[in-house]
Amino acid sequence: MGVSTIHGVAARHRLAERAAVLVPPGRVTVATTGGAATAAVRALLARRRGLTLVTTALTPVLAIRGGAKVVLTGGAVRDPAQGCVGEAAEAALRARPIDIAVVSVDGVDHDGLSAADPEQASLIRTLVHHARRVVALADHSALGRAEAARIAPLTSVHDIVTDACALPPTFTDPCPRFHLAATGLRS
């Protein structure tokens, strides 16, 4: 689910552009989850030479063209749009060094990240704990919302990219850096 609920291609593209800027050039390994917003990030990053994309996504990967190397994790497929989940996917993510994880989430509140689906939450939790840097994509409806499956506290996240025009007042230090894709501002 996550940011895939954002209405319109333009909104997803703004989030993807803002998230892609957070990935430095050069030899970097970026892991992504499935979903429309992370597919837009993958499409932008795929053009970069020297970059390795590790993903649980299935259908969007077929359209990737560019200089990046693409690695599929495998795993159980419940929803092709969301990609693979389960122990096999999580083991594949743990098996390689991940510089940056780009994940879509359904909820971001003062306690941290959450997802509606427990299997997706477990997969994202694996990435959060394994990656050196975590970039979470969350549309405005996810801010201030807590879903049933907890992923990680805000202290585990380095950046949150959102289409919100302003942050809820409940977000205080220690907080990750919020990147407001709608305005280009950073807080």
Query: Tens digit of pLDDT for each residue in 115-138?
Result: 999 999 999 999 999 999 999 998
**Structure tokens that stand for 69 in this block:** 């190397």
The residue-averaged pLDDT of 86-113 equals 94
Alpha helices in the chain (DSSP H): 9-21, 36-45, 87-94, 118-130
Distance CA 46, CA 79 (A): 23
Please tell me whether residue 155 adopts helix, strand or coil conformation: helix
| Strands (DSSP E) found in 20-171 | 29-32, 52-55, 69-72, 76-79, 83-85, 100-104, 107-109, 112-115, 133-138, 149-152, 159-162
pTM, entire model: 0.87
Distance CA 58, CA 47 (A): 18
pLDDT band at 101 (very low <50, low <70, confident <90, very high): very high
**Structure tokens that stand for 25 in this block:** 């050039």
- The answer to whether 83 and 34 have CB atoms below 8 angstroms apart is yes
Residues in the chain: 187
For the chain, give the mean pLDDT: 84
Residue 59: is its pLDDT beyond 80?
A: no
- The answer to whether 40 and 102 have CB atoms below 8 angstroms apart is no
Distance CA 72, CA 125 (A): 18
Go through the domains of the chain in sequence order and give each one's CATH number: 2-186 (3.40.50.1360)
Cα 55 to Cα 6, 45, 96, 136, 181, distances in angstroms: 21, 12, 12, 15, 23
